Amino acid sequence: MRIATWNVNSVGARLPKLLDWLGTAEPDVLCLQELKCAEDAFPFDEVGELGYEIAAHGTGRWNGVAVLSRVGLTDVRRGLLDQPGFQADGSMFETPEPRAVAATCGGVRVWSVYVPNGREVGHAHYDYKLRWLEALRATAVEELAADRPWAVLGDFNIAPNDEDVWDIAAFEGCTHVTPEERKALTALTESGLTEVHPRALKYDVPFTYWDYRALRFPNNQGMRIDLAYGNAAFTGAVTDSYVDRNARKGKGTSDHAPVVVDLDLG
Q: Which residues are tagged catalytic?
A: 114, 155, 256
Residue 162 carries which DSSP code?
A: G
- Separation of alpha carbons 227 and 239, rounded Å: 16
Reduced to 3 states (helix: H, G, I; strand: E, B; else coil), residue 126 is helix
User: Which residues have a Cβ under 8 Å from the Cβ of 180 and sit 6 or more positions away?
Assistant: 130
143 is in an annotated binding site: no
256 is in an annotated binding site: yes
- Separation of alpha carbons 65 and 63, rounded Å: 7
Q: What is the number of other CB atoms lying within 10 angstroms of the CB of residue 90?
A: 11
155 is in an annotated binding site: yes
Instruction: End-to-end CA distance of the chain: give it in Å, rounded.
Output: 10
Helix (H) or strand (E) holding 15: helix 15-25
CB 104 within 8 A of CB 75: yes
255 is in an annotated binding site: yes
Residue 177 carries which DSSP code?
A: S
134 is in an annotated binding site: no
Q: What is the DSSP string of 42-104?
A: S-HHHHHTTT-EEEEE-BSSS--EEEEESS--EEEEES-TT-----TTS---SS--S-EEEEE
Reduced to 3 states (helix: H, G, I; strand: E, B; else coil), residue 254 is coil
- Separation of alpha carbons 104 and 72, rounded Å: 8
197 is in an annotated binding site: no
Binding residues for Mg(2+) are 7, 34, 155, 157, 255-256
Binding residues are 7, 34, 155, 157, 255-256
